[in-house]
Structure formats: structure tokens, C-alpha cells
Chains A and B, each alone.
Chain A
Amino acid sequence: MRDQQFVSFLMDDHLFGVDILVVREIIRNVVFTPVEHAPKAVRGLLNLRGQIITVLDLGPTLGLEPRGHSGQSRCIILKTADETARLYEDGIIKEEMHTDAIGLLVDGISDVVKVEEDGIDRPPANAHGLDPEHLSGVIKLENKLMMVLGLKSLVDQGLAQTITEQS
């Protein structure tokens, strides 16, 4: 049985996690260029050593408010489909990643959580008002619940919705 490690982070008061294997890096200095005429979840573009990263705020897609900005704000840079092709083929990660380099805008980074596979429960039908469709599991920590994001459906939906559909 394989131990899984999750990068945990905050959006509003919720603790979320993504598999550490799909995280390329986390950046502190979140300076991006906002882009108009973009899908709802796209907040802007960011330059990471010459590569253009699409910065997403998945809050609204999950049913939360859009992210504000504070000193704790971070951007989690996810690996691309190319970078994770092997992991996906070998079944180590369950979902195919997006082809673009994507950064998730979050309110703060918490610990790296290590769990055994049986430590992950199915997501509850109503996870604190969050859409369970976008959660792949729930992990009970000592004093909190960490919700594991189903990145594919979440990102796909976030990118499918345009601003006009939203309003």
C-alpha cells in the first residue's frame, strides 16, 4: 500500500489538498497580469522563468467567493499533462493533468500531509456547501477535514465557463 502525500492549502476557511506528485512548485510572489475576455476561472497570466502560467481561481467553480489577496496568498504551479504522462500511464495518479501550465491561486499553504490509501474517504454528499463533483476524497486530520480536489473536472469546468455565462 502506497503512502500518498498531499500539499494542503486554504481557500476561505476550507482546507484542500492536491497530490504532491502533480505540484511543480509553489510561488510566493504572486504577480500576474489580469486578462479580460477569458474563461471565468482565469485570473490572469504569470511569467515563471519564461513560461506563461495560466493563473486560476477555482473558488467560484467550487462555490466559494473569488480570492482576494493577502500576504499569505500563494500560487500552486501544477505539472502539465506532458510532465505527468508517465505517472498517469502507470496509474500512480488517477487523473490526466491539463496540457497548459496552470497555477492555482490559494489563500495560504499549510502542511504536507502524508496518508495511507485507506485514510482517504469518499467525499460526503454535501461537503460544507462545496460541489462534491469536484472532490475526489476527504481525509480526516486530527482536528480538521481536508478535501482532496478532483482537479480535472474542476479545471475543465472552470475553463469552460465564460464570464458572460457567469453573470
Chain B
Amino acid sequence: MDLDDRELLEELIIESQEHLGTLEPDLLALEKGAGPEETAELVNRIFRGIHSIKGGCGFLGIAPVQNLTHQMESVLMKVRSGKLSVSPGMVDILLEGTDRVREMLDDVASCDQVDASAVLKGLEPFLAEEAEQPEELAEPASVPVETEEAPPEKARSGFIPLGPVPERPVAQEPEELNPVEPQPEVPSESRGAVAGRSHGHNDVLRVKVDLLNQLMNLAGELVLARNQMVQSLDNKLADTPSGEAIYASTRGTLEDSFRRVAAILNEQRQKAALDEETARVITEQIQREFHDLTEGLMKALPNRLSDLAGMNASMVNIDAVTTNLQENIMRTRLQAIEAVFGKLPRQVRKLAQQVGKEVELVVSGNEVELDKSIIESLSDPLNHLIRNSLDHGFEDPAGRREAGKPVAGKLSVRAFHEGGQVIIEIEDDGRGINPEVIKRKAVEKGVITAAEAERLDDRQAAELIFAPGFSTAEQVSDISGRGVGMDVVRTNIEDLGGSIDLDSRWGKGTRMRLKLPLTLAIIPSLLIRAGGRRFAVPQVSLDELVRLRKDDPKNRIEEVRGAEVLRLRGKLLPLVRLKDLLGMTVPENLVPAAKESKVKATHVLVLKSGNNRYGLIVDEVLDSEEIVVKQLPSALKDSPCYAGATIMGDGSVAMILDVVGIAEFSGLRFIESREDQAAEETSEAYRDRTEGQTLLLFTNAEGGENFALNLALISRIEQVSSADITRVGGKEFLKYQDSSLRLVRLHDHMPVAAPLHDPEDVFIIIPKLVKHPMGIVAHDCHDVITTRVEVERDNLKGPGVLGSAVLEGMMTLFLDIYSLFEAVDPETYRQDQARTGSIQGARVLLAEDTSFFRAVEKKYLESLGAVVTSTMDGKEAWAALGHPDAAFDLVVTDLEMPQMGGLELTRHIRSSARWRDIPVVALTSLGSADDREAGIEAGVTAYETKLDKDRLAATLRQVMEGVCAHA
């Protein structure tokens, strides 16, 4: 094959691929059905696409493609002439045909290796029907024969002399010359449509990606050069003293030397007996010289300085041009996301068939553009998410009918711009993610412990699907979970400098939100210094900067089990010291001496790694700068801590830190697990931490009272329209998860203000850990805060009130849902209470360190009729038991407490002669088997979960009646 042919072939392949790209969606649209006109146009377009491929391949002698496309074309011809109607089976086989053609064209040299026999065979029945009606066929079939032969001939004669000139003639000439087009206006119309769709109205030129990459590199160089110039100019301007200062100092020096010269002259005159006149003349000459010199200097200096100033102006210019140039070149690398989205209809169709579900795909934002390299890497994660939706997201048709949803599921894929980034949303209206199932699985798979699971809210639980090790072989089905987990999807997206968010509502659907940068080549970054060296941190991973003063008594760096952590707004962040991480030695003498910063403060970069955050301690925080990302040399590809390298304004190389890699390399354990560890510790730090509680703040009415409810007590918060609330017999209900949920308006049962009017939307807070849940109607849920607060219990009393406190400057009522629900629905709740008689009058010793829980538990116990003595920890409880007058029937203790924990307390109790038979009920938020075993060993009588009043009551009753053996 000579060079011309090689280039022709390249053109042909590119062109054919373009045709294949439009064939797929057109075929799918054809199957879906449309009006007769549209259908005709679709068929024509498909026909022409296949015909062009056939013509080109025939011309270059690529027989396998030619044969296959010929058969496909024949089928379409019959459709076009109305001899055949479109059927899904036909579309299937044609799609398969396009696949084979694609495979063949992907590797033309060995295209005869592609087995198209199945497709050819599949096409036969459609062609065979042709034979049954030969008389009808004769006419249309005879004309196309001409088209098949003629256009390539034309192309050949018109083409070869031109050599490697464009592909257009191949595409257009056959069409223009095509004598069989039944409606002449259609081809021109649709040709316009084709051109318009892919290229707009501007002239288009194909440019090799290599060339673009080179241009991009050059633009990168220019950016660097600009940065260097700006820096050196800045230095120069800063170094240049003002004209006067130079003049003053120069003049001083000159005057000095003038005086010395004069003195020497005078001396010489006396020695050499110069006459006075000669001496005067010489002196005057020198004086004149001096004068000229200073004059000249004065003239020259401002010029030099204004040069610098002028340079500054042109610098601004260069700066602007460079930025512009770089942006424009970057834009040439942008590709419409259609390249990825275009494949979706086909994929969704196929997957839906496989899993036996009906799915309607809605794609928008095809025109949104992204860097080519990002588009290329987007395909896999996107496919995975789509597969996930199809496989796990959507219910089967029966399930959907049951859930009252339309049988066909709706899958929306959207792309749009937001804040300089591209957002891709994948949303389904399937069953959503059940947080409880996810938690259970995660615990089974050892991703988290049961204790951790208990602490997660629904959102955090759903996010577990991204945890490494969560999706494993167990989930493998045909469609998703082929050993590739969502953690890989997240990693892929993060490698692209993006992020992925999950929003799922159980029963309603799931939305994945991908955030992507426009390009990877140039990124905003923060420059920092550690160990005398500069590093760049991508801004996208940076959450915030924290500066800790060294002499600050509240230095918030603490140590937990030998690892440093930072307390930041109630959360604990694991810390990494960059210098230690890199094991950096003192800078070598080969490096320009870096100024060692006088460490007055500690700088912490709070970085995002997946769902987690950690702190990176650096010596110094420098500037924000747009940096050009350079690939790491292969020798450093395995280093976990670097994402790339870049060149600084002064020409030196700086490493770009890999935020996720560093977290993994350092083996950071994030807070959830860390808090567990710390739980056994009795340090002051621990005490602080455990007493914090996370509260939902809400109001009952516009301008009404402020309420707080512990988040641990809340199952869900739903926003509903007032219209969805039904009233039956003076009570309000909401249809919720296939049953009716009784609603409670706080002002009906508590002495608080009622809303003036009913708002359109209200929030329904659905509590958990109650036997008969009711939804609490809130006007507005305005915040979730984590705080340590002492609840004042005596100011306000009444049903539903636990106490009050000032939160965020507002008097806030702490809700007691148990007494509230008892007040709302006394019948149901009184029945339960009747069964708790045996606790009546029991003397209970309560040990609980967290003031909130202490208050709640005491209230529970008292409401059950017990007489409660509360203590702050095991030590205090033990002291209480040691009192000579002490009289208790039951000990209820928390497990994790400072000074002395629940287990130790139990051991003390069991080993004392006086108390060894007293029942001990342990309250825990942990529920794993290990804990129970340890508890049984220590002699705990029974376990119960904190905050679950009903079960606590039942357990206490059993314990008191001596029924309960070890749990």
C-alpha cells in the first residue's frame, strides 16, 4: 500500500467511524418508532451511512467489510422501498452488524479474522423474503445496482489525482450522484443535519492529537516562561531603589572620592611643586567631570527605571495573551461528551433486555465539552454506574407496579456546567439504597464494625458502597459487579481530579453526581513548603487551611495512641507531617539554600480523600498558582505520594502531592474507627469527645420555638407537601413506606406557639428506636450541630420536654419523644407501661458519663417507676455502692466511661461480698459479639441498647424477675 493509499485508508476509517457513530442512535430511534416522515429520513440516513462505508471499503478492496455492509444495505433497501417493516429483530441484527464492521475497521489488516457469519446468517431471512416477492423487488433492486457500482468509480477517478485530499468527496459525491433517492429534498436536508450536528457552521479541520498535545506543551512552556518573567521582574522592581536614593548614595561616593583626589592633588602639588594655577585647573577639570558624571547619572537612571515600568506593562500584555492562548489551545482538546453519552442508548437497551427490565433513558447535555483525555477515561466509570442502576437500582416490572411506579424505569443522564466544572448526574427512579441493608453487608464483609455502623446516618451508610472491599464477588451478576467495585469508580473519578457524590432515597431512587474538571493539563494548586522544598497540592482536594499558633494554650493537636490528631470543630482529623512522611533529610548542597522558616505556627492543610478528611502539616504555606501538570517519569510512577511534577517560576521542579495516595500510604485511620479505639481511653480528650452530641435544630412554626433532637434518635427527615397530609378523625396521617404514619404537631401537645398559617411544605421528622413511630411536623430544619451542652432540666417541664439549653444564642427545647408520644397516644403507650410493673419502686444506681444520656436514661427509669441515683462514671458508682447506707436493687451502667468503665465496675461488683448478686444491666451503643463476650465474662446480667426505651423496659423487667440469663 503506498503512502497515498495509507492516508486514504486512515481517512476512510475515521469517516466510517463517524458513520458508525450515527448509525447506532439512528437504528435505536428507528426501533422506537416515529412518524412516517421521520422514519423515512432515519432509514435514508442509515442506508447512506452503510452505503458510504461499503463504497469506501470497496474502493480500497476491504472485502469483508464490503460484503457485510452490502448485505446490511440490501435489507435497508427493502425497508426503504416498503417491502419490509422494521422489527426489533432486524434492528438487533443490524446493530450486531455495525459492531462487526467496527471491529473490522479497528484493525483493518486482520479484518478477515472477524467472524461475521452469524450476522450474515441473521440477515438472510430478511433478504429471503425478498425472493418470495420477486416481481415487486425487480424494480427497486435494479436501480441500486447502479449506485453500488457507480459512486466508487466516480470516487476513484475524482480522487486519485488529488492524492491525500479530504474525505468529503467520498461522503458526498455518491449521495449527490445517487440517482435512486426517491425524495430529492431529503438527502440535502439530512446532509445539512449531519454537518450541523457534528461541526456547527464553521469550517472544520482535523488535527492530529499529537500535534495538539505538542501545542499544549508549548503553551505550558509559555505559561512557565511567563511565570518566570513575572517573578524576576518582581524581584528586579523590588531590588531597585528609587532614583533619588541611587543619586544620593552615588553622589556621596563621588563627593568622597572627589575630596580624596583633591587632597592627593594638594599633596602632590606640595611634593612636586606644581604651581597653584595648574593645580586649580586640574581640580576644576575633575569637578567638571564629576558634574557631568552626576548629570548623566541623573538622566540615565529614570530611563532605566521607566524601562522597568514599561516592561511591567508589556508583561501584563504577555500575561493576558499567554492565558488566552493556553485557554484556546486547551479548548481544541475539548470534545463533546456525546462521544460517551452516544453509546448509552445502545448499552441501556442491551442491559435492560438482559435483566428483563424496562428502562427509558433520557440523555441531556450532549454538547457539554470536556478534555479528550477525561472523556476517554470517563467511559468505564460511567458504564459501571449505568450498569449498577440497571442491575441494582431499578425494580423488576412487578416490583415497580407494586411500588406504584410506572413500569418503565426512568434513567436520566445529564451533563452541565457548574462553577467552572462539569457535572454529570445519573439519576434513576428505582428502589434506592437501603441504608440498613448496606450497613449489614458492610459489617458482614468487615468493612466496618457493628459499632461503627450504628453511628452512621443514612447518607453515610449509603456512601459505604464506595468503601474498598464493599462490592465483592458476592454481588457478581451478569451486569454489574464484575469484580470492579464502586471504590474503583470513585478512584477513577478522583484520578481525573473529580469527585462523586451519592444521594439516594430508599424507595424513590438514586442520584450519582460526578464533578469533573474541564482539563487535566493545568490545575489550580496551592504551593507549600516542607523541609526547605516546595510542593504543589491540587486545590480540588483542599478543604481548608488551619494555622495553629505555637504558643496557643489550646493547641489542638492531640495524641491518640501515638498518632497525632487535630481537633477541628468537634471532629478529629488524623494528621500527617509531610516532612516525616517523605523522610526528608536536610536539603542537599545541590539545592539552592532554602530559607528555613522560623516556625512560629503550625500550618495544617485539611485535605479530602474520598469521604474522609485528614490534616497535612507543612512548614509554610506559599501562594496559589495555576500549575502545568507534567507526567511523572516512569521511575517515579510507583511512588504513592506524588500525582505529578510541575515547574516553578524560578525553573525548579516541584512535586505535586497525591492527596489520596498519601492517606493510603500513611495508613491513616479515619475518625469513625479512631473514636472506637479512643473509647477505652480515659484521657481528658476522650471525655470531651464523648460528651458531644449531634443535634438536629428545628422550629415548629414560622418564628416559633426552637427545638433540638438528638440525631441518634432520628430515622429520617422527609420534606412533604401539606397537601399530602390526610386528616382522619381529627388525627393527621402521612402515607409513608406503604403504611400510614401518624403525625404530631408539637403545639397540640406542648405549650408552644402554633403557626399562623399552614406552610406549603413541611418537614416530617421520623424518630427511630420507638415502638410506634409518629412523625413530628417541623416548619424548618435549620441546622445540625455537634455540641457539648448541659441540659437544664428544671426550667421547663411538661410532656415532651427533656429540658432546655441555649444553643447558638437561642433558647432551645430538647424534645423527649417518649413522653411526647405517651401524651399523644396514651392508650398504646400505657399498655406497654402496664407490663413494667416489677420495676416500680426499684432502687437503681445509674452510671453514665455523658450528661445527655444520663438525663435521658434517668428519665426513662423514673418513668418506669424506679428510684434513680445517678453517677458520672464507674468510680463514682463504685464509691456510691461502697457507702454504708447504700441500698440498690439494680445497677444500670454505660460501658465506656472515663476513670472506670462499665466492665471494670461489674468486675468490682462481682468480686465484692456485698453486691455480687445485684443485677447489672449494661447500656451500650456497641453491639458486637466481642463486647458481649467480654461483658458476660465480667458478669454483666443483661445488655441493652441506649435510647431504646421499650426494650430497656422489657429487659429491666426480665432482669428484675430473674428471668433473664446472660443475653
Contacts and interface: CB of A to CB of B under 8 A. Distances in A.
Contacts of A27: none
B83 interface: no
A54 B591 contact: no
Given A46-B653, A47-B652, A69-B588, A39 B635 contact: yes
A37 B582 contact: yes
Interface string B272-297: 00000000000000000000000000
Interface stretch (A28-36, A87-95, A118-126): A28-36
B221 interface: yes
B586 to A, nearest CB: 11
Contacts of B591: 31-34
Contacts of B641: 36-37
A100 B637 CA distance: 12
B630 to A, nearest CB: 5
Given A37-B640, A52-B630, A69-B588, A32 B635 contact: no
A33 B653 contact: yes
Given A31-B592, A31-B652, A52-B653, A38 B636 contact: yes
A10 interface: no
A159 B217 CA distance: 27
A62 interface: no
Contacts of B631: 52
Contacts of A32: 590-591, 653
Contacts of B590: 30-32, 34, 44, 69, 73
Contact of B584 (A36, A39, A45, A49): A36
Contacts of A143: none
A159 B641 CA distance: 17
B655 interface: yes
A124 to B, nearest CB: 30
A50 interface: yes
A49 B653 CA distance: 11
Given A46-B653, A50-B221, A159-B635, A34 B645 contact: no
Interface in B609-660: 630-631, 633-636, 639-642, 645, 647, 651-655
Nearest to A30: B590
A70 to B, nearest CB: 10
Given A47-B653, A50-B217, A34 B633 contact: no
Interface in B566-615: 582-584, 587-592
A107 B642 CA distance: 29
Contacts of B903: none
Nearest to A162: B638
Interface string B526-560: 00000001000000000000000000000000000
B691 to A, nearest CB: 41
Nearest to B652: A33
B741 to A, nearest CB: 56
B224 interface: yes
B634 A35 contact: no
Given A33-B653, A47-B653, A100 B634 contact: yes
A39 B635 CA distance: 7
A60 B511 CA distance: 55
B709 to A, nearest CB: 48
Given A33-B653, A37-B640, A50 B588 contact: no
A100 B635 contact: yes
A99 B631 CA distance: 13
Contacts of A33: 533, 591, 652-655
A161 B634 CA distance: 14
Q: Chain A contact residues: over half helix, strand or loop, or mixed? A: loop
B409 interface: no
Contacts of A101: 633
Contacts of B767: none
A36 B633 CA distance: 14
B635 A38 contact: yes
Given A34-B588, A69-B590, A100 B220 contact: no
Given A33-B654, A35-B655, A50-B647, A45 B588 contact: no
A42 interface: yes
A54 B641 CA distance: 17
Given A31-B592, A50-B217, A37 B645 contact: no
B588 A35 contact: no
Nearest to B220: A50
Contacts of B642: 35, 37
Contacts of A31: 590-592, 652
Interface centre among A32, A33, A46, A101 (most CB of B within 10 A): A33
Contacts of B651: 47
Contacts of A159: 634-635
A158 B611 CA distance: 38
Contact of A50 (B224, B582, B589, B636): B224
Interface string B514-534: 000000000000000000010
A31 B647 CA distance: 13
B46 to A, nearest CB: 43
Interface-centre pick from B634, B652, B653, B654 (highest chain A CB count, 10 A): B653
A36 B221 contact: no
Contacts of B587: 34
A52 B652 CA distance: 10
A152 to B, nearest CB: 14
Given A33-B652, A52-B630, A42 B588 contact: no
A164 to B, nearest CB: 10
Nearest to B589: A69
In the complex, which of the residues A36, A39, A69, A101 has the most CB atoms of chain B within 10 Å of its own CB atom?
Answer: A36
B347 to A, nearest CB: 35
Interface of B: 217, 220-221, 224, 533, 582-584, 587-592, 630-631, 633-636, 639-642, 645, 647, 651-655
Given A46-B653, A50-B647, A99-B634, 17 more contacts: A32-B591, A33-B654, A35-B636, A35-B639, A36-B582, A36-B641, A37-B636, A39-B635, A42-B635, A47-B651, A50-B224, A52-B631, A52-B647, A52-B653, A69-B590, A100-B635, A159-B635
6 contacts: A33-B533, A45-B645, A46-B653, A47-B647, A50-B220, A100-B633
Q: Which 8 A-B pairs have the closest CB atoms?
A: A36-B582, A37-B639, A45-B653, A33-B653, A100-B633, A50-B221, A54-B633, A159-B635
